[in-house]
Structure formats: structure tokens, C-alpha cells
Structure 1
Amino acid sequence: MKAYVFSLSPVEERFFLEWEDQHADDEIKYTTSPLTDDTVDLTKGFDAVSVQQMEQIKDEKIYKALADNGIKHLAIRQVGVDIVDLKLAKKYGIVVSNVPAYSPRAIAENGLTGAMYLLRKWGYYHRKMRRGDFTRPVELMSDEIFNQTVGIVGLGRIGSAAAELYHALGARVIGYDPVYNASLEPFLDFVDLETLIKTADIIQLHIPLTKDNVGMFSANEFAEMKDDAIIVNESRGELIDTKALIVALKYHEIGGAALDVLEGESKIFGRKFEDVGSLPEDYTELINMPNVVMSPHSAYYTKMAVKNMFFQSMTDIQRTLDGQAAIFQVK
């Protein structure tokens, strides 16, 4: 197998070397840079590429260059494939795969952690304590999770894991998904999206981004939510209208937001800013709110998940090059 790995992060290096040790006959090269029009020529002489990046791969020139270079498989080391143009990949005969289940619990647990932080009002306490105020005002009395109704939007592998976690803590769990899954009945009640939005105390998003659901949570949805409800986004930032979210938080139309993703996050996440004053205004406003907790698209970031992302990606490449169907091919 001859494969080129793009955007290899420092934490992936140990798993890159582990794969090499186990597959001595493979020729694998890597770069820390993403796959772009400027780097696509690195793929000459290889059969497949593996990427994990936020940069879009939508330019037809990239797909033509990949095909001309002999690339047969484009493996995405993540769940979301919205960075890829599947029609162009098909046009140039390139198989696309992703890693849909590297560790569903890692992401589900991160969402639960954010929800609990907000439910117990830690952000408000932290702000007060930094000012030397260690009192417990009435308005900061919190609720317990078993008294909450949790709504999960999207009941795939990650959403299902989230439902099981909340159910185990005693919460009432309701869920919305266009596809009914009877195996989830022990953990939740299926409802329509409107009922979920109006009923849930905590709403957690676990759905892929499509052109049809951009901004699916905006001013109208926030107005329908309970005024103390918490929204948790572990999927894609563009599912939430950020400006509408800021307004809803400022004017207490909702209670809080736990965000692992953010609209336009590729300009921020994964980078270090020496001048924090240069950060986008929306991010700065959100991060300074006591009823917001954020992480830099790091919900997946566990040892098990990172290894699984790399190994599953490479395994599917191997299958394609051996004439077998990729286990996680995206069509």
C-alpha cells in the first residue's frame, strides 16, 4: 500500500509509527499540512490519501490532480464529510470513506460534561469567585439531572450513546431522528422536532451538516425553547445561527449554550493567537458569557478515538487497494 497522509497532528504520530511497524511493506509518507491545491502534487506516485482537516476540498482541480496522480481512495479521518465534494470524487473515480464511529462515547461524554457545567451554573460561580464573592444567591440554585428532560437531535452512533448516558443518570430522554430505531426504545421516547424544542430542558445536537439544515436553530427555535433551556452542539457550528444565539443568551430567551463547534470555526480552532484582540467578535462575546462553555472542536480528542480514527482510515484504504469494498465508504 502506498498512501500519503495529510494534516498529521503530533498526537497522531505515535499511531502513524505503530501502523508502520505493523505494516512494514507499506510505503506511507505524511505532512502536517492539509490537502489543498498547493499540496496536491505531493500525492504523485501514491495510491491513496488520508486527511483530517477543516479546510474545504471542493475545487475540481484537486480531484483532477488526484486522479491524474493515480489516487483511488480519499479517506477522511473524521465523521463529517462536508469538506468533500462527493460528486467530483465520483466523477474522477475516487472512493471516499470516513470514520463514523471512532469513539461515539467520547463526543457524547463531552456534550454531557458541558450540559452539567451549565446546569450547575459553574460559569456564574467562577465569575463571582474570581471577584472574591463566594456567596450562594437564590438565582444560582440549580437543578439535578434526573429532573431534566433531555432532547437528542440525531440518533446515530453518537446521539444514541448520548441518550444512554443521560438515561443512566436518570434523566427523561426524548429524541428526534428521521429514521426510527427500535433498539433505542429502552432509553428514550421518539418525538417530532417541534415537540422536542418546546419540551426539552437540554437539547443536544448530533446530526450531520447538509445544505438543508444550515441555521436550523435560529431566532424562531430559540423563542420556542424554554427560557432556561440549554443547547449543546457537538456536530457542526453552522447548525446554529451564531448571531441569533448571542441575542437569545443575552436576553435570557434560553439558559445557556455548550459549544464544541462554532460557525466559521476554521478561522479560530487549531490556531494560537498572540493578540487575543484579533479574535472574531462573535467568539469573544460568547466566550465571555457565564452561561456559555466552549471547547475547540475537541470532543473527539481522546487516546482511543485518535488511534481509531487513524487505524480505521488506513484499514479502509487497504481494503480498497486490495479490491474489497471500504467498510465506511461514503456515497
Structure 2
Amino acid sequence: MKIALFSSKPYDEKYFNRENKFNHQITYFSAHLNTQTLSLAKGYEAICVFVNDKITREMIANLAKNGTKYIALRCAGFNNIDIKACEEFQIKVCRVPAYSPYAVAEHTVALMLTLNRRIYRAYNRVKEGNFALDGLLGFDVHGKTVGIIGTGKIGECYAKIMHGFGTRLLFFDPFENPKCQELGKYTDLDTLFKESDIISLHCPLRPETHHLINDESIAKMKNKVMILNTSRGALIDTKALIKGLKGATIGSVGLDVYEEEAELFFEDCSDTIIQDDDFMRLTTFPNVIITGHQAFFTSTALSNIAETTLQNLDDLEYDRLCLNLVE
């Protein structure tokens, strides 16, 4: 199969080439797939895209006209694709639902500990010979209440880790996970917001979860709450988050995603002036840590992403059952 892989980085090429036991013909394009780069996909039976490739109905119609039969997402979420249009134009979509839930869960814990114990500030101080402890005060995670929104594979892994810390766990998810029920209890969102010292987001981005964290929900939260998001940026209303930080309602924030990340993340912007005022405002807070969508970024995850993506396409090509078909 001829595959056009967009938003390619050197590590994508390395792992996809290594896992390509199917002998697919892969062409790597560093550019995002958009209306300007759509012509590059012409003649490819399959295209492979990532989280920041936005695929509209118009683009899907064009892809179908030019011979594309399959769209392979090398990520779990599919909110960046018009699925109904794919059905209309008979393009099948597959994804990688569980490349490494441990990677994302562990990164979430890393953000939590770094924020709580001010590791970033302590590291810089020691390098300058400053060993004072003022401003580095944290809290015991043991005994705190942790609210987990979304209890799929990643939420479950995070819950198991936090249970090991000796925390009280509250969950919200329309579909309850029996393994999480053994670790804590499911409740409504209002109770979770009211009682949690730490709130961690692990749910997909859908219309009902868009801006789940907003002015109204922040007003219900505990004073000095910690908010963690390693899922999808638009789960949080950035302006409401900034307001909560400025008013000291929110104690700290750890983000691996951002709702307007498409033009920033996965690129080197160090020599440019970033025009996103909300993002730049977030970077000024001493109690905010932002990483550039790297929670998934482990060797295990990259291997699994490549292997599963290529297996998905091979299953589709030979009309076998594809377990990761988006329907």
C-alpha cells in the first residue's frame, strides 16, 4: 500500500521504518495535512495523520476523488476528522486507541510532583548556588482527594498510581470502569469539583466535554486546587483558567496540551515571536508548567503507534477485521 504520512518527524520515520514488516510504501511529509498541502496526498491509497492535522469535509471529498481509501490516525483521538464525511465518501478511518496508557499516566504524575514540590525552581536555584527553601513549600499527596475525569485506559493507569500514593479517588465518566470502582468511587462532576484537591483530565474531546473546565466549574472547585491536563487542550477554557490563576482560586496547573497548540507544539518556535497572547500569559505564572504534548513520547509508545497503525492498514487492505476502525 502507498501511504502518505503527514506531520512527520525524524522519530516517526525511524519507528515506522523499523516496524514496517508489511512492506508498505511510506512517503514522509513534514508538513501538516491541510488545504494547502492536500495535493501531496494525491495518488496515495492511505494517508497517516496526527493530532494537529485538521481534516474537513471539503478535504475528505478531495481525498476520495484522488484515490484515498483510508485515513490512519497515529493517535487515540479523532476529533480532528469529520467522521460523517468519511462515511459519506466511503473512506475508512482507523486509530491507535492504546499505544501506551502508562506513558501518559506517568507524565501526568511527573507534572503533579514537579508542580507540588517546585522541582523546576529548586533545580534552577541549586545551579546558582542558592539552597534556600523559601518558596518551595509543597504538600503531602498522601491523604489528598484526587478527581479523575475520564476512566479509560489512561485514567485507569493514573488511578492505580495515585492509589499507591494513598489518595482518596473520585471518578467521573459516563461509562464506569470496574477496575476503578475497586480503587475509589464514581460521583457527579459537581461533587468532584467541590471535593478534589487535584483534578486530572483523561477524557476525549467531544461537544459535551469542550471547555469542561470553565468559569462556572472553576467557581465550584476547592481553593488552591491543582489542575492537570494531558488529554486534549480544548477541555479547558484558557481564558477562564487564566482568570482562576490570577484570582488565586487555582493553586497550580500542569498542561501537556493547549487548545490552540496546532501552530506551536511539535515545532521549534524559539527564534520566533509567539503571537498567542493567552499562551504567553500562561507561561508567566510561576505555578504553571507546560510541556509540548510529550506525555505519549516514550520508545514503547512510538513502537506501538507504528506497529498498530501499519497493522490497521494491512487489515483494511486485505479486508480483514480491523479492531481499531472508527465507526
TM-score (norm: length of structure 1) = 0.92
- The match for 2:105 is 108
Q: Which residue of 149, 160, 166 maps to 1:170?
A: 166
- The match for 2:201 is 205
Q: Which residue of 78, 81, 92 maps to 1:81?
A: 78
- The match for 1:71 is 68
Q: Work out the CA distance in 1 between the residues paired with 2:279 and 2:43.
A: 42
Residue-by-residue CA offset, 1:7-50 (whole Å, 9 max, x unaligned): 22111122222234x234x3332222222233333334432221
Structure 1 residue 68 displacement after superposition: 2.1
Q: Work out the CA distance in 1 between the residues paired with 2:266 and 2:128.
A: 31
Question: 1:45-64, aligned counterparts within 5 Å?
Answer: 45-60=43-58, 62-64=59-61
Structure 1 residue 210 displacement after superposition: 1.3
- The match for 1:18 is 18
Question: 1:1-331, aligned counterparts within 5 Å?
Answer: 1-20=1-20, 22-24=21-23, 26-60=24-58, 62-122=59-119, 125=122, 134-137=131-134, 140-275=136-271, 277-331=273-327
Secondary structure at 2:72 match in 1? strand
Root-mean-square deviation over aligned CA pairs: 2.1
User: Does structure 1 conserve the Cα–Cα contact (< 8 Å) formed by 2:229 and 2:256?
Assistant: yes
Structure 1 residue 259 displacement after superposition: 0.4
Q: Work out the CA distance in 2 between the residues paired with 1:258 and 1:294.
A: 6
Deviates more, 1:67-76 or 1:77-86: 67-76
- Counterpart residue type for residue 102 of structure 1: Y
**Structure 2 gap segments, 5+ residues each:** none
User: Does structure 1 conserve the Cα–Cα contact (< 8 Å) formed by 2:156 and 2:179?
Assistant: no
Residue-by-residue CA offset, 1:252-273 (whole Å, 9 max, x unaligned): 1011000011121112212222
User: Does structure 2 conserve the Cα–Cα contact (< 8 Å) formed by 1:34 and 1:53?
Assistant: no
User: Does structure 1 conserve the Cα–Cα contact (< 8 Å) formed by 2:49 and 2:74?
Assistant: yes
Q: Work out the CA distance in 2 between the residues paired with 1:219 and 1:126.
A: 34
Q: Work out the CA distance in 1 between the residues paired with 2:120 and 2:8.
A: 34
How many matched pairs?
A: 327
Residue-by-residue CA offset, 1:118-152 (whole Å, 9 max, x unaligned): 22233565677688764334x75321221211110
Q: Work out the CA distance in 2 between the residues paired with 1:248 and 1:301.
A: 30
User: Does structure 1 conserve the Cα–Cα contact (< 8 Å) formed by 2:19 and 2:303?
Assistant: no
Q: Work out the CA distance in 2 between the residues paired with 1:131 and 1:222.
A: 37
Q: Work out the CA distance in 1 between the residues paired with 2:138 and 2:89.
A: 56
User: Does structure 1 conserve the Cα–Cα contact (< 8 Å) formed by 2:152 and 2:177?
Assistant: no
Q: Work out the CA distance in 1 between the residues paired with 2:297 and 2:275.
A: 23
User: Does structure 1 conserve the Cα–Cα contact (< 8 Å) formed by 2:148 and 2:172?
Assistant: yes
Q: Work out the CA distance in 1 between the residues paired with 2:99 and 2:145.
A: 28
Residue-by-residue CA offset, 1:273-323 (whole Å, 9 max, x unaligned): 245543422222211211111101111111111121122111111101111
Q: Work out the CA distance in 2 between the residues paired with 1:128 and 1:19.
A: 43
Residue-by-residue CA offset, 1:37-93 (whole Å, 9 max, x unaligned): 333333344322211141311142x21222223322111001111110001100000
Q: Work out the CA distance in 1 between the residues paired with 2:26 and 2:271.
A: 38
TM-score (norm: length of structure 2) = 0.93
Q: Work out the CA distance in 2 between the residues paired with 1:286 and 1:134.
A: 27
Secondary structure at 2:206 match in 1? coil
User: Does structure 2 conserve the Cα–Cα contact (< 8 Å) formed by 1:124 and 1:291?
Assistant: no
Q: Work out the CA distance in 2 between the residues paired with 1:5 and 1:156.
A: 28
